[in-house]
């Protein structure tokens, strides 16, 4: 009888050690994979938003032309993700900063030079989003005006 009890205890100990090793390896890997999937999702959302803005801006072919679009700008306060959108006059520059990682920069060309961004009060400004929100962009010749909707 004692031999059967010893085998059972050894089996339980081996199973326990196996579970500890499995958890200690797979849990960190799962957290790393989750972090990378969130990063890929946010960066692709930011790229899509930038492409929508640039496509609308590049479709303005003459002074007096106008396009209005609504775009979601991704970010997350809980996950320490910030998205910034600005222009240097000839490019739309989107930067996604994730705590602990190198910022991801998306640089898309605007047709021509002298593009400027303005907020809803008419001041020259950039977007710095920390919680994720929809924006309305009213794009006219060489001007990108934005309003935060939510």
pLDDT tens for each residue of 80-102: 999 999 999 999 999 999 987 89
pLDDT on residue 123: 92
Which residue numbers in the chain have pLDDT < 70? 1-5
Q: Containing domain of residue 20, as a range?
A: 3-148
SS (H, E, C) the chain: CHHHHHHHHHHHHHHHHHHHHHHHHHHHHHHHHHHHHHHHHHHHHHHHHHHHHHHHHHCCCCCCCEEEEEEEECCECCCCEEEEEEECCCEEEEEEEECCCCCEEEEEECCCCCCEEECCCCCECCEEECCCEEEEEEEECCEEEEEECC
pTM: 0.82
- Whole-number pLDDT of residue 145: 97
Task: Quote the number of domains for the chain.
Answer: 1
């Amino acid at each position: 009888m004692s031999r059967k009890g010893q085998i059972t205890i050894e089996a339980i100990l081996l199973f326990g050690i196996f579970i500890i090793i499995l958890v200690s390896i797979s849990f960190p890997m799962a957290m790393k994979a989750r972090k990378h999937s969130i990063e890929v999702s946010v960066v692709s959302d930011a790229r899509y938003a930038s492409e929508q803005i640039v496509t609308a801006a590049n479709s303005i072919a003459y002074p007096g032309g106008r396009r209005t679009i609504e775009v979601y700008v991704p970010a997350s306060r809980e996950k320490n993700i910030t998205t910034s959108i600005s222009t240097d006059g000839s490019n739309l520059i989107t930067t996604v900063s994730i705590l602990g990682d190198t910022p991801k920069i998306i640089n898309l060309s605007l047709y021509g030079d002298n593009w400027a961004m303005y907020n809803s009060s008419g001041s020259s400004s950039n977007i710095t989003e920390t919680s994720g929100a929809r924006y309305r962009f009213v794009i006219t010749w060489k001007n990108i005006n934005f309003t935060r909707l939510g």
